[in-house]
């Protein structure tokens, strides 16, 4: 680029920055653009730098399209939703865990779910039907960008100069139920760009809290992908947030399904996690916490209560020079991944989670402490 061209571009960028202060952020829209379409943002899972507060409290219960329609008909609102659009998808909430329940096999759902992420502007970096996990690349919600005069006029010419300073990644987990149906979980991880020094001449990417609203919105959109109408999906989500549950033949209940706080305990002389839940609820909580905190789940065996996970240590030197630069640098090589087994064991009304090595032996207290604490921070 010539010096005159560079000066012109910088001048336009500066003008755009000034005018953007008067614009309105489109916070109510979602328009993702995956980083894989340009340069990928490489941020490995991390026990020390990841967000430790992805908690949010919501009412519990299940809301289905059929149940909601029955309730609306009973209340004289049935004419607002066409009965021939009712699908077989339910949305469940237990404490801080949300998921969809679909009476279809995982192999039948895999392609529609994969297409769902592509339709929403994402590129998948993990696509493993054998273990039921797919994960998107880091992507930017372009709808958060200011819609100022210069950007609207020049469009893509200056589009690369704009950035929200945020990136999002989503993991989808499909688990086969004993009745042959499937439970689908969607979890979010986020990164935010911050200045790395007082001079503000370079930036780094650091974790930010998981966004429950994004998780809920993508669950709702997936309901539509699987056959629920837009009107029904919106009504179902709103009903679920306003009440404990909506079931056919009954009025909405205000009873909330909440989790008892997790506790860090010592079991067999090493740190462990104690949950006041039965196995089913504990299994869901652990799986969701692993997804939100960025562990790579390589396999799982529900019958044995085992999650096989991989932990990659962080690379503290990763940073992106320059505010307008779109090249994400990579520092020194990260250490080799370490594989663990998380054991979920139920004993009456209590369930314990312990950390084992690949051979099935309990890991030393120092290693277990970091993993148990990370899960605890998400569940407490």
Does residue 79 lie in a domain region? Answer: no
Tell me the sheet residues that pair with 171: 135, 187
Does residue 11 lie in a domain region? Answer: no
pLDDT at 162: 59
CB 305 within 8 A of CB 279: yes
Please give the C-alpha separations between residue 163 and each of 6, 139, 177, 228, 325, in angstroms, as whole numbers.
19, 11, 41, 34, 10
Q: What total number of domains does the chain contain?
A: 2
Residues 348 and 276 in one domain: yes
pLDDT at 165: 79
Residues 133 and 230 in one domain: yes
Structure tokens belonging to residue 170: 């989503």
Which residues make Cβ contacts (< 8 Å) with residue 199, sequence separation at least 6?
none
Read off the CATH number of the domain in which 137 is found.
3.30.530.50
Residues 111 and 231 in one domain: yes
Residues 265 and 130 in one domain: no
pLDDT at 52: 40
Domain of 191?
Answer: 86-144+164-244
Q: Which H or E run includes 127? A: strand 124-128
Residues 174 and 232 in one domain: yes
Report CA 99 to chain centroid distance, whole Å.
Answer: 11
pLDDT at 140: 87
Tokens 């970091």, residue? 370
Structure tokens belonging to residue 308: 């096989």
Residues 297 and 372 in one domain: yes
Does residue 29 lie in a domain region? Answer: no
**Residue count of the chain:** 380
pLDDT tens by residue, 307-316: 999 876 444 3
Please give the C-alpha separations between residue 133 and each of 110, 114, 287, in angstroms, as whole numbers.
10, 10, 11
Low-confidence ranges of the chain (pLDDT < 50): 1-27, 38-60, 64-66, 69-86, 149, 151, 154-155, 157-158, 243-256, 313-332
pLDDT tens by residue, 270-289: 999 999 999 999 999 999 99
Read off the CATH number of the domain in which 313 is found.
3.30.310.170
Does residue 211 lie in a domain region? Answer: yes
Residues 92 and 238 in one domain: yes
Write down which residue in 217, 244, 271 finishes a domain.
244
pLDDT at 196: 83
pLDDT at 326: 43
pLDDT at 90: 87
Residues 264 and 191 in one domain: no
Counting beta carbons within 10 angstroms of the beta carbon of residue 355, is it exposed (0 to 12), middle (13 to 18) or buried (19 or more)?
buried
Q: What are the helix and strand counts (H, E) for the chain?
A: 8, 17
- The helix-helix angle for 212-225 and 230-242 (nearest 10°) equals 140
Does residue 31 lie in a domain region? Answer: no
Counting beta carbons within 10 angstroms of the beta carbon of residue 299, is it exposed (0 to 12), middle (13 to 18) or buried (19 or more)?
middle
């Amino acid at each position: 680029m010539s010096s005159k061209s560079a000066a012109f571009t910088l001048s336009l960028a500066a003008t755009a920055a000034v005018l953007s202060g008067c614009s309105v952020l489109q916070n109510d829209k979602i328009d993702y653009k995956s980083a894989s379409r340009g340069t990928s943002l490489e941020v490995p899972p991390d026990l020390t730098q990841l967000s430790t507060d992805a908690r949010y409290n919501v009412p519990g219960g299940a809301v289905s399209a059929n149940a909601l329609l029955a309730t609306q008909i009973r209340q004289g609102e049935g004419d607002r939703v066409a009965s021939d659009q009712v699908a077989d998808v339910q949305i469940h909430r237990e404490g801080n865990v949300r998921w969809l329940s679909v009476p279809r096999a995982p192999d039948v759902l895999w392609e529609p779910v994969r297409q769902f992420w592509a339709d929403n502007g994402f590129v998948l970096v993990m696509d493993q039907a054998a273990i039921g996990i797919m994960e998107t690349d880091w992507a930017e919600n372009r709808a958060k960008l200011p819609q100022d005069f210069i950007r609207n006029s020049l469009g893509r010419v200056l589009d690369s100069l704009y950035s929200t300073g945020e990136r999002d990644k989503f993991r989808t987990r499909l688990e086969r139920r004993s009745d042959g149906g499937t439970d689908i979980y969607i979890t979010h991880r986020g990164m935010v760009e911050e200045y790395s020094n007082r001079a503000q001449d370079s930036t780094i990417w650091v974790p930010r809290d998981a966004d429950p609203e994004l998780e809920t919105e993508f669950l709702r959109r997936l309901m539509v992908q699987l056959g629920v109408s837009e009107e029904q999906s919106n009504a179902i989500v709103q009903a679920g947030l306003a009440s404990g549950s909506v079931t056919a033949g009954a009025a909405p209940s205000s009873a909330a399904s909440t989790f008892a706080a997790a506790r860090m305990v010592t079991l067999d002389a090493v740190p462990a996690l104690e949950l006041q839940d039965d196995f089913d609820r504990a299994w869901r909580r652990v799986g969701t916490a692993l997804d939100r905190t960025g562990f790579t789940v390589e396999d799982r065996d529900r019958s044995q209560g085992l999650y096989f996970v991989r932990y990659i240590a962080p690379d503290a030197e990763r940073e992106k020079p320059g505010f307008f630069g779109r090249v994400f640098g990579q520092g020194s090589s990260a250490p080799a991944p370490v594989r663990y087994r998380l054991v979920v064991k139920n004993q009456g009304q209590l369930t314990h989670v312990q950390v084992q090595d690949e051979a099935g032996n309990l890991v030393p207290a120092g290693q277990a402490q970091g993993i148990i604490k990370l899960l605890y921070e998400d569940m407490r």
